[in-house]
């Protein structure tokens, strides 16, 4: 859904065509979130089907196929940008799932998983800090900072997990914790 709305939002700025929209989308996200070109064409078809975009006049173009946003589409973008993205349940996250599932096991397992995760995350964070020498364009910098901020938050959370798992009243072998075999 987010890619679709991102594309539509770009169309709200100016008419464009598939290949260009892909490039623009990736530029806006600092080159971090690439998309398959094919998907853009699919999205454009669906946007048309939903009355949010339509083929635009192809002035003096080559083999490009320009698209424009419709009034309805403009309204959708307007709403999207105005209303904040806040779900009660945050998007599912693989790392959280992994750690939380592991925490349900024996403490040693949980602690090992937490430690692996933390080590890897820490390495990532170091790389992230080393990169972005203040250079680059706005999008790249913002994306880099977002990633950094999340990594730091996740690291702090992992520490917290470790603390709680270690100090918890050790629910040792209840119900289905002990694995047979």
Q: Could you tell which of a second copy, DNA, none binds residue 4, using a CB distance below 5 to 8 A set by kind?
A: DNA
Of 12, 27, 33, residue with least CA distance to 139: 27
Q: Residue 18 interacts with DNA (CB under 7 A)?
A: yes
Q: Residue 179 interacts with a second copy (CB under 8 A)?
A: yes
Contact of 58 with 64, CB cutoff 8 Å: yes
Q: How far apart are CA 142 and CA 126, in angstroms?
A: 17
DSSP state of 90: P
**Residues written for the chain:** 181
Q: Using alpha carbons, list the distances in angstroms from residue 106 to 61, 94, 98, 154, 170.
A: 64, 20, 14, 22, 9
Per-residue interface string for the shown chain with a second copy, residues 96-115, x marking contact by CB under 8 A: xxxxxxxxxx---x--xx--
Q: Residue 94 interacts with a second copy (CB under 8 A)?
A: yes
- Count helices and strands (H / E) in the chain: 7, 3
DSSP state of 132: -
Residue list 64-123, contact with DNA (CB under 7 A): 64-66, 92
Residue list 9-38, contact with a second copy (CB under 8 A): 9-10, 12-14, 16, 20, 24-25, 27-30, 32-34
Interacting residue with a second copy among 75, 126, 153, 166 (CB under 8 A): 153
Candidate segments 14-22, 98-106, 111-119, 120-128, binder of DNA by CB under 7 A: 14-22
Interacting residue with DNA among 46, 79, 116, 160 (CB under 7 A): 46
């Amino acid at each position: 859904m987010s890619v679709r709305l991102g594309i539509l939002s770009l169309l709200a700025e100016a008419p464009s065509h598939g290949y260009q929209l892909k490039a623009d989308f990736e530029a806006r996200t600092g080159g971090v979130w690439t998309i398959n070109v094919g998907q853009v064409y699919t999205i454009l078809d669906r946007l048309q089907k939903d009355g949010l975009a339509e083929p635009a006049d192809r002035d003096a173009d080559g083999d490009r196929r320009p698209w424009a946003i419709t009034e309805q589409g403009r309204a959708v973008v307007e709403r999207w940008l105005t209303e904040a993205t806040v779900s009660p349940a945050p998007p599912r996250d693989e790392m959280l799932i992994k750690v939380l599932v592991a925490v349900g096991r024996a403490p040693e397992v949980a602690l090992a998983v937490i430690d692996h995760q933390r080590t890897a995350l820490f390495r990532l964070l170091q790389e992230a800090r080393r990169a972005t020498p203040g250079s680059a364009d706005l999008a790249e910098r913002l994306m880099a900072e977002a990633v950094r901020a999340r990594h730091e938050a996740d690291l702090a959370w992992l520490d917290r997990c470790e603390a709680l798992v270690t100090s918890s009243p050790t629910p040792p072998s209840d119900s289905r914790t002990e694995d047979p075999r």
